[in-house]
Amino acid sequence: MLIGSHVSISDGLLGAAKEAVSYGANTFMVYTGAPQNTRRKSLDKLKIPEGLEYMKEHGINEIVVHAPYIVNLASPNSSTYELAIEFLAEEIRRAEAFKSPYIVVHPGAYTDSSLDEGIERIANALNKILSEDTNITICLETMVGKGTEIGKTFEELRDIIDRVDLKEKMAVCLDTCHAHDSGYDIINDFDGVMGQFDKVLSLDKLKVFHLNGSLNARGARKDRHANLGANEDNPRGKDHIGFETICKIAHSKYAEGRPLILETPWLDAKTNLYREEIAALKAPGGAK
C-alpha cells in the first residue's frame, strides 16, 4: 500500500520527507508553497537534493504535488486566466524538480460564464501548458461542485481530457470526500462507482486517491473533510463516510500501486491524526 498524507514544505523537500516518515508513510503530498497564494521560494532554497536523497534512503519514490487552489483555469477573466496558465506552468517545473510523477490540479470554477465555456477554457489552458517535454502527469481532482466548480462528475473530467491534445499526460485524482459530497455512493457501492469511472474515463486514468472522511451526508456539496471514522467526540466533527468504507477502498484492487493521500483535518494547531490514520489503514484487515 502506498500511503501518506499532506505534509508541510516549510522546511523544503527534506522537511516534507522527514515529516512523512514520522507518520509511517511511504508517499506524501506537498504544495510547493502556501496553497492559497502564488508566492514561492526559489528552487535552490527547497532542499531538493537532500530531500531526494532522504526519500531514497527511506524507500519513498512516488510523491504527489498539489497545485495551489487559487489557480483557476476556467476563469472567464483574462488576467486571472493568463496568470493561472503561467503559474501552473511554473508549478509543473517545480514538481518536476521534486521528481514527482503527479501534480494534482482543481479543474476550476466557471464563475459568471457557463459550464461548457469553463470546460473549453480549462482544456485550452492545458493545451498551452503541456508539451512533449512535460515530464509529469496532471491529475484533475474530482470536486464536489460547490458554486460553479467544475469536475463534480466523471463526465465533466472526461469532457476536459477529451479536448486536451496530449491526453497521455492527463489523469484523475479521486478524492473520497469530494466524490461522496458530489453524490457518488462510495459507501454502499464503491465497485459500482469504479465501474462508472471505468466506463466514462477508463481506470488507467485513475492515478491518485485522496482519502478523507466527510462532515456531511452524501450529495451535500460542502467539501468539509473529516478524520477517518471520527465520531461526535472529535473536535472537528463526525465523519459521514466511515472508517470501514475508506479502509475497504485502501485495500481494494483500485488502490494498488496508487498513492493514497490523507487530507484529514488537524485537531488543533499542533495535532493531527495522520500517524494513527495511516497505521489503522495499514493494519491487517484494516481493524481500527
Q: Which of 79, 166, 78 is nearest to 129 (CA)?
A: 166
Q: Report whether 150 contacts 143 (CB < 8 A).
A: yes
Task: Report the C-alpha gap between 250 and 206 in whole angstroms.
Answer: 14
Max CA pair span of the chain:
52
Task: Report the C-alpha gap between 107 and 147 in whole angstroms.
Answer: 13
Task: Report the C-alpha gap between 172 and 193 in whole angstroms.
Answer: 14
Query: Can you tell me which of 152, 169, 210, 236 binds Fe ion, judged by CB under 5 A?
Result: 210
> Residue 240 binds which entry of Zn ion, Fe ion, none, with Cβ cut-offs from 5 to 8 Å by kind?
none
Segment near Fe ion (CB under 5 A); pick from 3-11, 23-31, 44-52, 139-147: 139-147
Segment near Fe ion (CB under 5 A); pick from 71-79, 111-119, 167-175, 275-283: 167-175
> Residue 210 binds which entry of Zn ion, Fe ion, none, with Cβ cut-offs from 5 to 8 Å by kind?
Fe ion
Residue among 66 and 169 whose Cβ is closer to Fe ion: 66
Task: Report the C-alpha gap between 111 and 89 in whole angstroms.
Answer: 22
Q: How far is the CB of 223 from Fe ion (least distance, A)?
A: 9
Please tell me whether residue 277 binds Fe ion under the rule CB under 5 A: no
Residues that bind Zn ion (CB under 5 A): 223
Please tell me whether residue 175 binds Fe ion under the rule CB under 5 A: yes
> For Fe ion, how many residues bind (rule: CB under 5 A)?
3
Residue among 52 and 140 whose Cβ is closer to Fe ion: 140
> Residue 223 binds which entry of Zn ion, Fe ion, none, with Cβ cut-offs from 5 to 8 Å by kind?
Zn ion
Residues 86-125, mask of contacts with Fe ion (x by CB under 5 A): ----------------------------------------
Q: How far is the CB of 142 from Zn ion (least distance, A)?
A: 10
Q: Which residues contact 243 (CB under 8 A, 6 or more apart)?
A: 213, 228, 229, 280, 286, 288
Residue among 3 and 261 whose Cβ is closer to Zn ion: 261
Q: Report whether 222 contacts 235 (CB < 8 A).
A: no
Task: Report the C-alpha gap between 52 and 55 in whole angstroms.
Answer: 5
Q: Report whether 65 contacts 100 (CB < 8 A).
A: yes
Closest-by-Cβ residue to Zn ion is 223
Catalog residues that contact Fe ion under the rule CB under 5 A. Answer: 141, 175, 210
